Structure 1
């Protein structure tokens, strides 16, 4: 059985979700971003308890097909931004078609209608939040961040950052209180 879980966006989320399945004695085959495969069907009573436990941590088991697709898109985009094994030359639409199993125009239309934002704009917002995170860590230069996130240049990253936040990256770094959004609120 495969369950789709809303708001799983990081490895810590995987750990929390796996723990909730373990607490109920539900054997998992795999726990990935937004998706959990179990060894057997889950009895309705256990599914209800699992849903309650997951909600306590900000997660939700998705029942609706369109919501499942949207969550798959979100998780794919998070992987594109946060995991370094996605090649820069890969086309975003190809990645989504391969991971979701639907044609891109269908995915794009559904995402835009449901979320009120295009996939591309959502990806830009995710990337900018990642840039903020890396600027706060202060371990990489702006050019290293641009390279890490597959920006074509530091200037392009800076322009996009300013367009989205209203601030230059260097001004953002100087702020005493740096504002970031949790990934599930982007």
Structure 2
């Protein structure tokens, strides 16, 4: 049998990776490599195993992606989430080049596909993800706004604040003062 790659929707953090790895191990399926949205197996799985995988991950809130467009959309989303959580990986290049390099497809095709399926542009999705990360960092209250701006590669604190206000309707300092700081799950950001 030959190696196989599975694409899984809703993997947004290291805990998701751990859960998927554990579930596949419980099924006796050997994982060679696992990243957000993508699992490389040591060998091709049969239809029975594929059904078992589909059922197990569905019970955990994930979805096995089987058509090529869904796989590409999920690769775009997980690449952007990875970029937001690890901004140093693409600090010297723009998002379009980063996605082209990461996914291996022309950005204009990626952008058109993403917009037609998700009803939101890649740029807007990136902004929404960054704002959610800013919220998270504000809630932790460990970094100043200036440090958050630098960490997320904003050109200035003013630009971060303006973008935050346009998305949330409030300034970062107003957000910090809220007693209930509601955040969206990372896989639900595009639905707002």
TM band (smaller chain): over 0.9
Q: Distance in 1 between matches of 2:116 and 2:90?
A: 29
What corresponds to 1:54 in structure 2?
A: 57
> Which secondary structure state, in structure 1, belongs to the residue aligned with residue 11 of structure 2?
coil
Give yes or no for the alignment of 1:28 onto 2:19.
no
Q: Distance in 1 between matches of 2:90 and 2:39?
A: 26
How many residue pairs were aligned? 186
Q: Distance in 1 between matches of 2:91 and 2:40?
A: 30
For 1:118-168, what per-residue CA distance to the aligned partner results, in whole angstroms no more than 9, with x for missing partners?
A: 000000000000000000000000000000000000000000000000010
Unaligned runs of 5+ in 2: none
1:14 aligned residue (10, 13, 17)? 17
> Which secondary structure state, in structure 2, belongs to the residue aligned with residue 86 of structure 1?
helix
Q: Distance in 2 between matches of 1:29 and 1:174?
A: 45
1:169 aligned residue (166, 172, 178)? 172
Moved more, 60-69 or 80-89: 80-89
Q: Distance in 1 between matches of 2:94 and 2:6?
A: 28
Q: How does 1:1-186 map to 2 (within 5 A)?
A: 1-186=4-189
Q: Distance in 1 between matches of 2:94 and 2:175?
A: 30
> Which secondary structure state, in structure 2, belongs to the residue aligned with residue 180 of structure 1?
coil
Q: Distance in 1 between matches of 2:137 and 2:126?
A: 16
Question: RMSD of the TM alignment (CA)?
Answer: 0.8
> Which secondary structure state, in structure 2, belongs to the residue aligned with residue 4 of structure 1?
strand
